[in-house]
Amino acid sequence: MDFARKVREEVKGGIAGPNRTCEYYPCHFEGQDCTFCFCPLYPCMDTELGKMVIGRKGDPVWSCMECHFTHRGEVATDLKARLEHEPMVPASPERNHEILAEMSKNHRKRARSIMVLGATSGAGKSLITTALCRIFSDRGLKVAPFKSQNMSLNSCVTRAGEEIARAQELQARAARAEPSALMNPILLKPKGNATSQVIVDGRPYADLDVSTYYDEFVQNEGMRAVRDAYDELARDNDVIVIEGAGSPAEINLGAKDISNMVTAEIADAQCILVVNMEWGGAFAYACGTIMLLPEEQRKRICGIVFNNLQGSADGLRAGIIKLERLVKIPVLGIVPHLNLTLPTEDSMHMMAICPDQGAVRVGMIRLPHVSNFTDLEALAIEPGTEVVLVSEPSQLSQVDALVIPGTKNTMEDLEWLRASGLFDGIRAMRGKVPIIGICGGYQMLGREVIDETGVEGGVPKVLEGLGLLDVVTRFSAYEKRTVQVDGTLLSTGEEIRGYEIHMGRTEGTMRALLSLREGGIEHNEGAVSEDGMVIGTYVHGIFDLPPVRKKLLSLARKEWHRGAAEVAYQEVVEKSIDQLAAGVARSLDLKSLIEHAEGT
C-alpha cells in the first residue's frame, strides 16, 4: 500500500525540520517539523488528537487534520528514533497504541492554570474568566475555560450533543475553542425541593438531593469526573482559565466544596479573588474570604480584583493600601461597571438592556422554574424592544407580545399558571398579541400534558394545557433530547439555528414552524395556529438570528420598526467579548498572570 511505503521512506531518510520547499508548507504552523508528512501512527484513534468524520464517500474515516503532535520537532525526532528499532513499519495498531502512550508521557503537555475565585456568587467570576480567555487567546496561547461544577438552568448543547452551562460556552468562544463537556464536567440544574438534575460529562446522570450530592456523589463520582475532565483538557492546551463557584470560604462545607480550592489543587492553579463592589462591603468580603482560608490555600491567591465599580475610583486608594497591608496580597485593580451585551448566567438583568420608552414590550412569563431565559436576551437587545417579567394577570395588559419560556418542571409550572390566574389571562390574549412558547412553554400551549410515569413530578399525572395549540405532550421515559439543530423558518425559508434540551414528546397535526436538518434528514418542528398568532417550538436560541424575532415583533400589538431586526446577535456578542477583554486588560495589572500563563 502506498501509505505504508511512504511511512517507511519517512522513517529511513526524509527531511528533518521544516520543509519550506513544499508547496503546502506550512500546512499546520510556521516552523513545523515535516519529518512525518504521513503520520506513522495513523489512525491512532486518540480522540484528543483527532476524531471520526464522515468521509467523501459517506464512510466514517479518522481525521487528524488539526493534530500538531508529530509536527513538533522534539516529537518527530523521538518518534523517528523509536520507529527505527521497530521490526515492522508501520507497526500493528496495538503496537502503535503503545508507542503513542510512551510518547504522550514524554511530550504531551500539561497546561498552566489560572483560577478565578469569587467572594460571592455574582461577583463577576464568569465575566473575568471570559475576559482572561480572550486576553490569553489574543496572545497566541491555546486556551480553554473550565468550571468543575456549575449550578445553572441556562445550558446549551455542544456539537457533540453534550449539555454544558452557557457561561462555559461563552468562555470557549472567548478562548476561540470548541465548546466541550470537558469544560464543565458537572452541571446542576435545580428542580426545586433541594433536588437537582445532575449532568455529568454532558449527559444526565441522576436527580440528587443536596445531601446525597454532597455526601455521596461529590466525594466519588464527582471528583473523578472533575479530575478526568481537567486532565484531558490540560493535555491539549497551553493555559486553562478556571472559574470557581460561589465563595471558596463556605466554611460549613469544607472539603465537600470541590469546585473551588479542591479544583485549584488538582490544577495547581494560581488564583485571583473577584469581589463585586456594587453591594458594598467589598473590603470586608475580600478580607474575610482570604482570612477564612487555611494557610496553604491562601498561598494560591496572588491577587484581588474589585469588580463592577459604579462611579469614581477616587478615594479608594487609601482603603486598598490598608487591605493589602492586612492580607498581604496585592489588589490587581478595579474593573468599572461595563455595559456589555453578553448572555448572563443566572441573573435576570437582561431586562435592563434596553429600557426604552415607547418600545415594543415583550412579556416573559416568570415561571417559578424558568430555564434558558437567555433565549429572551436576543429580543431584549433589539432596538425598540423591551423585555419585562410577567408574574401576575394584571401585567398582561401592558405587553405587546408574550413569550412563555422553558421550564425545568412543566407540570408544576402549569399548575402555578392556574393558581396565579395567568392561565385564563393568557388564554384571553389569544389573537390580540403574538404568543410564543419555547420548550416547556410550547408544551403548556398544547391541549394536554401527560406525565405517564411521573418523570416530572414523581407521580403520573395528566394536566390540561392552555389549549392554544392543538398538540399533546407526553412524558413517558426518563430520557432527554439534547441536540444542536439548524434549518429554515417554513413561512419564509430563512435560516435559523438553535438547540433542543427537553424531555417529553409533543405531537399534533398543526402547521409546523420550522424545517430542521439533522444528520442529513429533514423534519418539521413546532406548531403554528391557524391565524399565525400562537407559535410553539422546542428550539432554544430561536431568537438569536433575526427571522423568528422579526416574525414575533412584526405581529406585536404596536407598530414595530422592522429595519431594526437585522442586529445579528452573535456579532454583538463577539464585539462585546473584545470590549470586555479590553476593559479588563485596561483596569488590571495582568503582568504576573500573563507571565504565569506563558510560562515565562
Partner 1 sequence: MSARIMVQGASSGCGKSTIVALLCRHFASKGYKVAPFKATNLSLNSYVTGEGLEIGISQAFQAWAAGIEPEVCMNPVLLKPGGDAGIQLVFDGRPLMDLKRGSQVPLDLLLKATKRAYQSLAERFDVVVIEGAGSPVELNLTERDIANMRTAAIADAPVILVGDIEVGGVFAGLFGTYTLMSKEDRKRVKGYLVNRFRGEENILIPGFVMLSARMAVPSLGVLPMLDVRLPSEDALSLGTTKTSAGGGGDAREEWTRNLDSLLFEARKHLDLARIEDIAFGRDSAAIATTQRNE
290 near 327, Cβ under 8 Å? yes
Respond yes or no: is residue 540 known to be catalytic: yes
Of 119 and 527, which has the nearer Cβ to partner 1?
A: 119
Q: What are phi and psi of 372, to 5 degrees?
A: 50, 40
Give the shortest CB-193-to-partner 1 separation in angstroms. Answer: 10
Please say whether the beta carbons of 284 and 314 come within 8 A: no
What is the nearest approach in angstroms of partner 1 to the Cβ of residue 315?
Answer: 5
Q: Which is nearer to partner 1, 318 or 521 (CB)?
A: 318
Counting Cα atoms < 13 Å in the Cβ hemisphere of 301 gives: 33
- Check: CB of residue 371 under 8 Å from CB of residue 345: no
Nearer Cβ to partner 1, position 373 or 442? Answer: 373
Q: CB nearer to partner 1: give 407 or 473.
A: 407
- Other C-beta atoms within 10 Å of 102: how many? 11
Name the minimum Å distance from CB 364 to partner 1.
10
Residue number, 324 or 559, with CB nearest to partner 1: 324
* Cβ atoms of 454 and 421 closer than 8 Å: no
- Closest to partner 1 by CB, 286 vs 580, is 286
Shortest gap between Cβ of 280 and partner 1 (angstroms)? 4
Q: Check if 596 is active-site.
A: no
* Residue 120 near residue 285, CB atoms below 8 Å: yes
* Residue given cell 412584526 in the structure block: 554
Minimum CB separation from partner 1 for residue 352, in Å? 7
Shortest reach from residue 320's CB to partner 1, in Å: 8
Give 521-558 as a 3 state SS string: EEEEECEECCCCCEEEECCECCCCCHHHHHHHHHHCCC
Residue 573 is inside which H or E element, if any?
helix 569-587
Query: What type of residue sits at position 330?
Result: P
Q: What are the φ and ψ backbone dihedral angles of 484, each rounded to 5 degrees?
A: -85, 140
Instruction: Give Cα 182 to chain centroid, integer Å.
Output: 11
Closest-CA residue to 502 (of 443, 562, 453): 443
Cell (9 digits) for 95: 503496537
Q: CA 191 from chain center: how many Å?
A: 20
Terminal alpha carbon distance of the chain: 46
For residue 242, give the nearest of 132, 124, 137, 121 by alpha carbon: 132
Residue (of 146, 177, 183) closest to 163 by Cα position: 183
Q: Which is nearer to partner 1, 346 or 598 (CB)?
A: 346
**Residue 439 beta carbon to partner 1: minimum distance, rounded to whole angstroms:** 21
* Residue 143: strand, helix, or coil: strand
Residue 90 Cβ vs partner 1, minimum distance, rounded to whole Å: 55
Given the residues 156, 540, 561, 596, the one annotated as active site: 540
Report d(CA 309, CA 283) in Å as an integer.
13
Contact, 156 vs 136, CB < 8 A? no
150 vs 441: CA distance, rounded Å:
24
Q: Which is nearer to partner 1, 35 or 587 (CB)?
A: 587
> What DSSP designation does 575 have?
H
Q: How far is the CB of 549 from partner 1 (least distance, A)?
A: 21
Q: Which residues lie closer than 8 Å to 228 by C-beta, 6 or more apart? A: 185
Tell me the one-letter amino acid at 342.
L
Backbone dihedral angles phi then psi of residue 184, each to the nearest 5 degrees: -150, 75
Comparing CB distances to partner 1, the nearer of 12 and 322 is 322
Q: Which residue has the cell 398543526?
A: 510
Between 277 and 534, whose beta carbon lies closer to partner 1? 277
Q: Which is nearer to partner 1, 53 or 352 (CB)?
A: 352
Residues forming contacts to partner 1 in the complex (CB under 8 A) are 118-122, 194, 210-211, 246-247, 249-254, 278-289, 291-292, 315-320, 322-323, 326, 348, 351-352, 366, 388-392, 394-395, 398
Query: What cell was used for 215?
Result: 455526601
CB of 208 to partner 1, least distance (A): 14
Instruction: Give the span between the Cα atoms of 575 and 578, in whole angstroms.
Output: 5
Provide, rounded to whole angstroms, the least separation between the CB of residue 58 and partner 1.
51
**Beta strand 527-528 pairing with 521-525:** unpaired
Q: State the catalytic residue, choosing from 39, 64, 67, 439.
A: 439
Catalytic residues: 439, 540
